[in-house]
Every structure is written in C-alpha cells, then in structure tokens.
Structure 1
Amino acid sequence: MDISATTVKGLRLSRGWTQQHLADACDISLRTVQRVEKDGSASNDTLLGLCAVFEIKQKTLLVIPAPSHQQMQQVSLQTQTLTLAIATLCGGCIGALIMFLVLA
C-alpha cells in the first residue's frame, strides 16, 4: 500500500521522535519505519499502527494514484456509449408512445 513517506517523516519529526521511538510506539521494526519513510510502502497493519500513534485518519497518509490518460479516455468512451444507448432507447419509447396516443 502506498503512503506518503514525507508526511510520516514530518509527523515523526514534529514530535521530536526518532525512528526507533516511532517503531516502538507502533510495535513495528525499525527497518519497517525506515522503509516507510524511504519508499512509502507499508502493509495495512503498519498503516493502522501509524494512524493510531499519530492520531490521524488513514486518508491523511494514503497516496491515491491519479488515473492515466488512457484510463480516463476509456472511462469517458464507455460512459458516452452507455449514455447514447440509453438516450436512443428512451427516445424510441417516447416516440412509440406519442404515435400510439395520436393514432388511438
């Protein structure tokens, strides 16, 4: 899971803690704290421990990757196709209802 390494380090330093102090407080290894602050990778348990110790919400640390241009185009094309199909179906039904009412 990707988390903000700079945020973790900033929170730790703002409290005047060493990496070992943070590791002890979270009940994780020093190596895990070093990895989190270097790479920003952490397990769900590590994330929960950090959030508990720092008294913050998970969304404060989580890094949500931005979708690629290709993914955005793909979603847009699927949405356009679905919208066109629904509009065509609704238009056909409304047209048939109008013809039924006029001819009846």
Structure 2
Amino acid sequence: MTTATTEPRQLKPEELSTLVKAFREARQWSQEQLAEIAGLSTRTVQRVEEGQSSSLDTRRALAGAFGFDDIDAFNKPYVIPTNEQMAAEKARFEKERVTLKAVPLESGKQLGKLVEGTSANMFSEAAGMPQATEQRFAQLTDFCREYSDCSDLYSATDKLDVYAGLDDMVADLAKDGFTLVGATREVMMKTPGSESGIRVNIVYVVAFPKGQEAENLAVPRAVHFG
C-alpha cells in the first residue's frame, strides 16, 4: 500500500488481492476451497488475487466466506496509512513486543510437559468462543495453572494420569473446533537496585479456531509480576 494520502478511500484491486490472499492462507484454504465457500468460481478468486477488478457482489461473497459480520467490509472506504506511518507503527510494534515460535499442542502429555515447573503461564483465546467452549477452556486453564505450581510433587505414574485428563480436555476443545498452540520464553527478573536476577520461564498457550492456528505469537516485551 503506497498511497500518499490519509483520506478515506476504497481498497484498490491490488490491496484487496493482498488481503484476500492473506485471509485465505491464514485459514489454510486453497483457492478452490475459498471459491466453494464463497459461492464463486475458482477463476473469479484467481482474478481477485491477481489484482484484477471485482464486482460489489464478489467482494460481498468473499467477506461472507471469511466470516465478516459486515458483508460490505471490502466495499467500504478506509483510511489507508502512508508508508511512513506504516514504518513508524512497525517500529513501535517491534519495540514493544517480542515474537515467539509457536508449536501445536495436540496431546495432553505435550501440554502437561510444557507447563511443568514454569514460573508463569498465560492462557488466552484468539477468537470468541461459545459459552460452553469458553467454560471448558477456563477449566483447562485452571487445571494447568494448579498443576504447574506443584508438578514437581507428582510421581511419574501420577503424571500419566494428569496427561490423560489433559488429553480429554484438549479433545473436547477440538470437538468444538478449537486447537491450542504454545510458546515458551525465558526472562531475567531483577529487583530494584539489584544487579543479579532470577531466570523465569513463561509459557503462552492460545486457543485458535481450527485451521487458523498461528505459527508465531507476538507478546509484550515487558513482563510485570505482582
């Protein structure tokens, strides 16, 4: 996006192309799958992603396929930032956050081992959940936090029971259409006036709608306990 104005305007075909392709790939859909979901021909999707012009109805169909509440999301005028504004925002983002490599958490054992002995854990949802699913995710969160606080007291046999219980929770979330990814980070915590510090391991677990899992997690660079 190379516009030099910040006045609201409609998306250019090449800008729509970038967005549609990004949304499609984030869901790991092929062009054929997107076309089927949107009720369009594959050639129409290809033309959009090639940066060719598209009709109002085509853009509405694509917005609907991606689950937008407003089917005219691709038809409305937006304030498009300048290159300078985008560079400044990117610099601010990178200054305030650190990017971590995320791994899929497909079993209770994998999740249990990730949280064992950690000093802190952050559980969050990447998208809104139905109430029943939110309740299940909250139960998994509480279970993992309690387990991480005392996992060193569990015998190897007891840990197998924990992993089995987590397996069931992970499977229930999967049935609801949500999967987990996790990432770890080590930080040095220092008290005011002290030159030495304590190494703290932090684990991040995020629930994503199935097919939309992130490969990386951007988390705040500054960590606060208290």
Q: What range describes the TM-score normalised by the shorter chain of this pair?
A: 0.5 to 0.7
In structure 2, the residue matched to 1:21 is 33
Structure scoring higher RCO (CA < 8 A, sep ≥ 6) equals 1
Between the aligned partners of 1:23 and 1:6, the Cα distance in structure 2 is: 16
- Across the two proteins, how many residue pairs are aligned to each other? 65
Shift of 1:33: 0.3
Q: Check if 1:9 corresponds to 2:25.
A: no
Q: Give matches, 1:7-86, under 5 Å.
A: 7-56=19-68, 57=70, 58-59=72-73, 61-62=74-75, 64=77
What TM-score do the two structures reach when normalised by structure 2? Answer: 0.26
What TM-score do the two structures reach when normalised by structure 1? Answer: 0.53
- Cα 1:53–1:65 change in 2 (3 A) is closer
Between the aligned partners of 2:61 and 2:27, the Cα distance in structure 1 is: 16
Provide the alpha-carbon RMSD of the alignment. 2.5
Shift of 1:63: 7.7
Q: Which has the higher strand share?
A: 2
Percent identical among aligned pairs is 35
Structure 1 runs of 4+ with >6 Å offset: none
Q: Structure 2: which 5+ residue stretches go unaligned?
A: 1-10, 80-226
- Cα 1:54–1:22 change in 2 (3 A) is same
Q: Does the 8 Å contact 2:56/2:75 carry over to 1? A: no
- Cα 1:65–1:38 change in 2 (3 A) is farther
Q: Structure 1: which 5+ residue stretches go unaligned?
A: 67-104
Aligned amino acid, residue 33 of structure 1: V
Q: Does the 8 Å contact 1:5/1:39 carry over to 2? A: yes
Q: Does the 8 Å contact 2:37/2:65 carry over to 1? A: yes
